[in-house]
Amino acid sequence: MRTVKDILVDLKNTTELIVDLAYSALLFDMEDIAEEVLGLEDKILDLLQELRFLAIVSTRSRDVAKALSPILQIGSASQRIGNAAGDIATLVLRGFKLPKEMIGAIVTQLEETVVKVVVDRNGDLANKTLGDVKLHTKTGMRVIAIKRGFEWIFNPDRDTKILVGDVLFARGDISGVPKFFEVATGKSVKIESADVEMDIEDLDRAVDILVDMKDLSELAVDLGYSSILYYNEDIAQEVVYLEERIDNMRFDLVHWVLRSCKHFGEINHLVALLDLAYCSEQIADSAREIAEIVLEGMEIHPIFLSAMKEADEVIALVEVRKGSKLHGRTLGDARVETNTGMHVVAIKRGKNWITKPSAGTKVFAGDILIAKGTRESERLLRELCS
């Protein structure tokens, strides 16, 4: 029988992945990704049922019940995140999609995309490890999850062996997609150029809002868990700030949609935009619900902290010190991800956030890097920043 710790690890990994895939399904119009999101939504519900059962049978006193309360609050927030992600995916499957012109404009703004591919025996990946093929170096795509039958492998590392029939989910620059498909399947694919012309006032502003809502919602979920792991009020306060920003963006997007509705040929486009705004707010609200456990001073049960530290992927806050080799250099020049294995998801500089740092983003002493990777990778990043 699985333990509470096992369930929490799985719940954290699944929740973070489902948000990423849901946005990608809508913003890149991918029905196959949307279907995977619905499967992950069911997985979250199954995990929560297990979690609640174990919590009930473990409660033998008032003190134990009080200690388990934050865990159940995290579970409830995770369910809301899963439901919101499922609603976004349902939009795609029911034909409530964004205008093609808007999708084209979004693609030019987003630095990364998420793709799904089934490994073929004719591909170079079959029966080899990710490290053997040097997949990230060759394609610029990073495998974030593998579906093998009914099982999921989250955040695979370079030693993970890939089998024929594995379903890979990878994130990276859209220019690397053709090479990634070729390595995985042995077949070539072409990316069709998107027409970004659309005669609507302030279209660029609407696209900016959509891109920011995606990035900030994903960041809020990451930081929500991070605030619990480090029991850090500063991070928890940043989640509150992000949630408030997303609330304001929802109002801005709704206002833009109502003002521009006469320019849309299909009402389905309007439904997609309005529902996306609502779901993004729900995801951010749920992340805040997790962070408020810290802000309210609730005691975290040791089993949760232990579960977070045993997760396949950890979130680390690392300050760049004076004299660090990183000071004044870009993430790309320093080859941070290649040399450490940590993916920098955000940078806090004073009171400001850089929510989507790229290879060209410069890092300075005093910056706090928010990065994801393995525990060994975290050690390497701390050495680099020291």
Per-residue pLDDT tens for 31-70?
A: 999 999 999 999 999 999 998 887 777 667 777 777 778 8
Instruction: Please report whether residue 192 resides in a domain.
Output: no
Give me the mean pLDDT over the 304-327 stretch. 78
Can you give the pLDDT at residue 261? Answer: 78
Domain identity same for 79 and 202: yes
Instruction: Please report whether residue 271 resides in a domain.
Output: yes
Instruction: Please report whether residue 250 resides in a domain.
Output: yes
Instruction: Please report whether residue 374 resides in a domain.
Output: yes
Domain identity same for 35 and 115: no
Q: In this predicted model, what pLDDT tens digit does every residue of 137-177 receive, in sequence order?
A: 888 888 989 999 989 998 898 899 999 999 999 988 888 88
Domain identity same for 300 and 325: no
Domain identity same for 298 and 174: no
Distance CA(221)–CA(85), nearest Å, equals 12
Give me the mean pLDDT over the 304-308 stretch. 64
Considering its fold, how many domains does the chain have in total?
3
Domain identity same for 212 and 77: yes
Residues β-bridged to residue 316: 371
CATH number at residue 154: 3.30.70.1450
Domain identity same for 298 and 223: yes
The percentage of the chain sitting over the pLDDT mark of 70, rounded to a whole number, equals 93
Can you give the pLDDT at residue 196? Answer: 46
What is the average pLDDT score of the chain?
86
- Structural domain for 363, as ranges: 313-385
Query: What are the residues whose beta carbons fall under 8 Å from the beta carbon of 306, sequence distance 6 or more?
Result: 5
Reported as a pLDDT band with limits 50, 70 and 90, residue 311 is low
Choice between 163 and 261, residue whose per-residue pLDDT is larger: 163
Query: Quick check: 202 pLDDT over 80?
Result: no
Final residue before a domain boundary, out of 162, 185, 208: 185
Query: What are the residues whose beta carbons fall under 8 Å from the beta carbon of 164, sequence distance 6 or more?
Result: 119, 120, 121, 126, 127
* 307: its two tokens: 């579960």
- Specify whether the CB–CB gap between 16 and 99 falls below 8 A: no
**DSSP letter assigned to residue 123:** S
Domain identity same for 69 and 180: no
- Specify whether the CB–CB gap between 227 and 164 falls below 8 A: no
Edge-to-edge order in the sheet of strand 151-154: 113-118, 167-172, 141-148, 151-154
Distance CA(169)–CA(117), nearest Å, equals 7
Distance CA(356)–CA(209), nearest Å, equals 14
Reported as a pLDDT band with limits 50, 70 and 90, residue 191 is low
Residues β-bridged to residue 348: 353, 368
Helix runs in the chain, H state only: 4-27, 31-58, 62-93, 100-109, 130-133, 135-139, 177-185, 203-230, 233-260, 267-295, 302-309, 336-340, 375-385
Query: Quick check: 194 pLDDT over 60?
Result: no
Distance CA(75)–CA(78), nearest Å, equals 5
Instruction: Please report whether residue 368 resides in a domain.
Output: yes
Domain identity same for 203 and 144: no
Domain identity same for 172 and 236: no
Distance CA(386)–CA(384), nearest Å, equals 6
Give me the mean pLDDT over the 310-325 stretch. 81
Instruction: Please report whether residue 190 resides in a domain.
Output: no
Instruction: Please report whether residue 127 resides in a domain.
Output: yes
Query: Quick check: 121 pLDDT over 60?
Result: yes
Choice between 252 and 5, residue whose per-residue pLDDT is larger: 252
Instruction: Please report whether residue 37 resides in a domain.
Output: yes
Can you give the pLDDT at residue 304? Answer: 66
Q: In this predicted model, what pLDDT tens digit does every residue of 76-101 receive, in sequence order?
A: 999 999 999 999 999 999 999 887 77
Domain identity same for 84 and 117: no
Final residue before a domain boundary, out of 185, 219, 245: 185
What is the distance in angstroms between the CA of the first residue and the CA of the last residue of the chain? 43
Q: What is the pTM of this model?
A: 0.81
CATH number at residue 36: 1.20.58.220
Domain identity same for 302 and 318: no
Q: Which of 251, 295, 271, 279 is nearest to 70 (CA)?
A: 295
Q: In this predicted model, what pLDDT tens digit does every residue of 19-34 receive, in sequence order?
A: 999 998 998 888 999 9
- Specify whether the CB–CB gap between 72 and 289 falls below 8 A: no
Final residue before a domain boundary, out of 120, 153, 185: 185
Domain identity same for 93 and 204: yes
